[in-house]
């Protein structure tokens, strides 16, 4: 039987159950790199419902990542670091520190970014190289940057609405209590501000909720009951669309650079000056048109959301875990049907390239100001955006040292919007697929069968206090 005990001496003694769960996963990853574990070993179980996201089977095997983990663990023990948050920061930061990109590599990477839906053969033909060269570069990118193909997804096509909720935590409140209260099959993400202090700590939480009058009403009422009890302040936004983009024009293969005009004129004047040449960001606007689908379609939709180029064989295996047996051809037919209905918009996700800082900005504004902010996004190295019913939620990935500079740039824009919240650093407590929801869908009735106590947040809070 495979064990990971050989790595025990690398880790400090801790009482925090979250850190213990992380240490267990890191041991699995180290064992994979050392060849002690092949694939997803059934005798080494990963706890999928813990609060932090780190999948030792998903992270690519890499000597650079392996050495970085070992180095940080030794540093933690050498300097006797005992603060849980410090340990988390050291072990949760981007392990892949690769910043440089060779000129030949760049051509292939830019093709992946521009055409994430194309096959590797099509990419090869486009670049005038062999498919073997494309696959070789893909393997290198996975090792160096953890590259993977994922997708933005239109949940509204499955009779679901997507919400993001910003909350200001009570001083006594901690993220574990919040997670226990909000834990639910509809919960998709939980992010916690790690920069603010003195009671001004914010976070934002994602949900997908059946687009049915009673269920929507109960969800909003149940969330609202937590204001004044768990949260000092609470804001509910309905997402209308989402976008993602890269701007490699601001990258010289070693470092990122920005137009000085942005600092000189400020964000508003910069966009107005260059409005005619700034491109619109790539946005997936939600359709709110429910497609014909069943429970299996919904699962396939979710699987390809986190692994857009997942093999049909892997989909088949995942469906079997949920109690469904389909042939490869049947899966192919379903995937092609869902593709034709535009439920996904794929993109490339990777780590490294010197983008080590995150800046989160939630803006409440009118449509005209929203358009200005959307156009400004294409000047950033990498961005995510959620367009909601009262404005925009922006997540920007920046080079080291630029987070604070851009925070000030957005802060100067504050007078032009109704409200702005800037979060300089945060921890992603967890991100989850609503897999369990598939059992609630009644395809015959075209209805999500959600019980009346489905959103019982306040009752759960009372049981903990």
The answer to whether residues 243 and 286 touch, using CB atoms and an 8 Å cutoff, is: no
Asked if the structure places residue 442 within a domain, the reply is no
Q: What is the pLDDT of residue 431?
A: 87
Domain closes at, from 92, 125, 151: 92
The parent domain of residue 308 ranges over 292-340
Both 67 and 199 in one domain: the answer is no
Could you give the C-alpha distances from 163 to 74, 182, 219, 235, 339, in angstroms and in order? Answer: 41, 14, 10, 10, 24
Both 79 and 196 in one domain: the answer is no
End-to-end CA distance of the chain: 42
Q: What is the pLDDT of residue 19?
A: 84
Asked if the structure places residue 180 within a domain, the reply is yes
Cα separation, 264 vs 21, in Å, equals: 47
The percent of residues in the chain predicted with pLDDT above 70, rounded, is: 92
The answer to whether residues 108 and 363 touch, using CB atoms and an 8 Å cutoff, is: no
User: Which of 413, 374, 422, 436 is closest to 204 using CA atoms?
Assistant: 422
Flag whether pLDDT at 356 surpasses 60. yes
Asked if the structure places residue 155 within a domain, the reply is no
Both 259 and 296 in one domain: the answer is no
Q: Render 358-413 in DSSP notation, one character per residue.
A: EEEEEEE--HHHHHHHHHHHTTSSEEEEEEETTEEEEEEEE-TT-HHHHHHHHHTT
Both 247 and 235 in one domain: the answer is no
Cα separation, 369 vs 175, in Å, equals: 33
Rg (the chain; Cα; Å): 23
Q: What is the pLDDT of residue 434?
A: 95
Asked if the structure places residue 50 within a domain, the reply is yes
Question: pLDDT tens-digit profile of 111-169?
Answer: 999 999 999 999 999 999 999 999 999 998 987 888 999 999 999 999 999 999 999 99
Query: Cα–chain-centroid distance for residue 248?
Result: 21
Question: pLDDT tens-digit profile of 213-228?
Answer: 999 999 999 999 999 9
Flag whether pLDDT at 85 surpasses 80. no
Asked if the structure places residue 441 within a domain, the reply is no
Asked if the structure places residue 432 within a domain, the reply is no
- In 140-230 the beta strands, taken as DSSP E runs, fall at 148-153, 160-169, 187-193, 202-210
User: Which of 239, 211, 207 is closest to 223 using CA atoms?
Assistant: 207
Question: pLDDT tens-digit profile of 296-345?
Answer: 999 999 999 999 999 999 999 999 999 999 999 999 999 999 999 999 99
Flag whether pLDDT at 286 surpasses 90. yes
Both 360 and 272 in one domain: the answer is yes
The answer to whether residues 108 and 137 touch, using CB atoms and an 8 Å cutoff, is: yes
Tally of domains in the chain: 5
Both 135 and 37 in one domain: the answer is no
The answer to whether residues 305 and 151 touch, using CB atoms and an 8 Å cutoff, is: yes
Both 268 and 391 in one domain: the answer is yes
Both 221 and 248 in one domain: the answer is no
What does pTM read for this prediction? 0.84
Cα separation, 88 vs 384, in Å, equals: 24
CATH (domain of 300): 1.10.10
Q: Render 264-307 in DSSP notation, one character per residue.
A: HH-HHHHHHHTTTTSPPP-EEE----PPP--HHHHHHHHHHHH-
Both 43 and 113 in one domain: the answer is no
Q: What is the pLDDT of residue 41?
A: 43
Both 231 and 258 in one domain: the answer is no
The answer to whether residues 39 and 71 touch, using CB atoms and an 8 Å cutoff, is: no
The answer to whether residues 131 and 121 touch, using CB atoms and an 8 Å cutoff, is: yes
Cα separation, 44 vs 295, in Å, equals: 29
Asked if the structure places residue 23 within a domain, the reply is yes
Query: Cα–chain-centroid distance for residue 98?
Result: 20
Both 267 and 361 in one domain: the answer is yes
Sequence-distant (≥ 6) Cβ neighbours of residue 460 within 8 angstroms: 180, 181
Question: pLDDT tens-digit profile of 42-75?
Answer: 333 334 333 344 566 666 677 778 888 899 999 9
Question: pLDDT tens-digit profile of 3-45?
Answer: 788 999 999 998 887 788 888 889 988 998 888 876 544 333 3
Read off the pLDDT band of 291 (50, 70, 90).
very high
Q: What is the pLDDT of residue 146?
A: 82
- Average of per-residue pLDDT values in the chain: 88
Question: pLDDT tens-digit profile of 170-196?
Answer: 888 888 888 889 999 999 999 888 766
Asked if the structure places residue 437 within a domain, the reply is no
Q: Residue 282 — φ and ψ, nearest 5°?
A: -85, 105
What 3-state DSSP class applies to 459?
helix
CATH (domain of 259): 3.30.70.920
Both 214 and 236 in one domain: the answer is yes
């Amino acid at each position: 039987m495979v064990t990971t005990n050989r790595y025990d001496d690398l880790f400090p003694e801790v009482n925090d159950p979250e850190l213990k769960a992380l240490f267990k996963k890191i041991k699995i990853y180290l064992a994979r790199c050392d060849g002690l574990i092949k694939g997803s070993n059934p005798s080494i179980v990963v706890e999928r419902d813990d609060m932090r996201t780190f999948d030792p089977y998903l992270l690519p095997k890499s000597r650079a990542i392996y050495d970085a983990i070992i180095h940080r663990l030794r540093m933690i023990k050498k300097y006797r670091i005992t603060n849980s948050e410090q340990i988390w920061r050291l072990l949760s930061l981007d392990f892949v520190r690769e910043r440089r990109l060779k000129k030949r590599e760049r051509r292939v990477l830019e093709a992946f970014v521009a055409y994430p839906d194309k096959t590797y053969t099509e990419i090869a033909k486009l670049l005038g190289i062999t498919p073997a060269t494309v696959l070789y570069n893909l393997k290198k990118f996975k090792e160096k940057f953890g590259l993977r193909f994922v997708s933005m997804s239109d949940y509204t096509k499955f009779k679901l609405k997507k919400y993001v909720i910003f909350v200001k935590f009570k001083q006594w409140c901690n993220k574990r209590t919040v997670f226990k209260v909000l834990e639910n099959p509809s919960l998709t993400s939980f992010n916690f501000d790690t920069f603010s202090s003195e009671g001004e700590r914010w976070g934002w939480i994602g949900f997908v909720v059946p687009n049915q009058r009673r269920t929507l009403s109960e969800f909003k009422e149940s969330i609202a009951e937590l204001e004044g009890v768990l949260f000092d302040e609470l804001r509910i936004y309905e997402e209308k669309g989402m976008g993602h983009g890269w701007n490699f024009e601001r990258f010289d293969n070693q470092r990122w650079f920005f137009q000085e005009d942005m600092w000189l004129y400020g964000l508003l004047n910069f966009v107005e000056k260059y409005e005619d040449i700034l491109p619109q960001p790539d946005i997936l606007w939600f359709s709110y048109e429910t497609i014909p689908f069943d429970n299996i379609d919904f699962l396939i939709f979710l699987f390809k959301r986190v692994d857009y180029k997942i093999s049909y064989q892997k989909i088949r295996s995942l469906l079997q875990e949920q109690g469904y047996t389909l042939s490869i051809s049947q899966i192919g037919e379903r995937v092609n049907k869902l593709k034709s209905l535009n439920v996904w918009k794929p993109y490339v996700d990777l780590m490294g390239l010197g983008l080590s800082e995150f800046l989160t900005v939630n803006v409440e504004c009118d449509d005209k100001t929203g358009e200005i902010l959307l156009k400004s996004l294409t000047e950033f190295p990498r961005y995510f955006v959620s367009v909601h019913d009262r404005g925009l939620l922006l997540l920007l990935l920046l080079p080291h040292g630029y987070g604070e500079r851009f925070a000030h740039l957005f802060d100067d824009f504050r007078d032009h919007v109704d409200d702005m919240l800037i979060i300089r650093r945060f921890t992603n407590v967890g991100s989850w697929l609503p897999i369990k929801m598939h059992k609630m869908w009644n395809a015959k009735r075209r209805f999500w069968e959600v019980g009346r106590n489905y959103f019982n947040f306040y009752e759960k809070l009372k049981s903990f206090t």
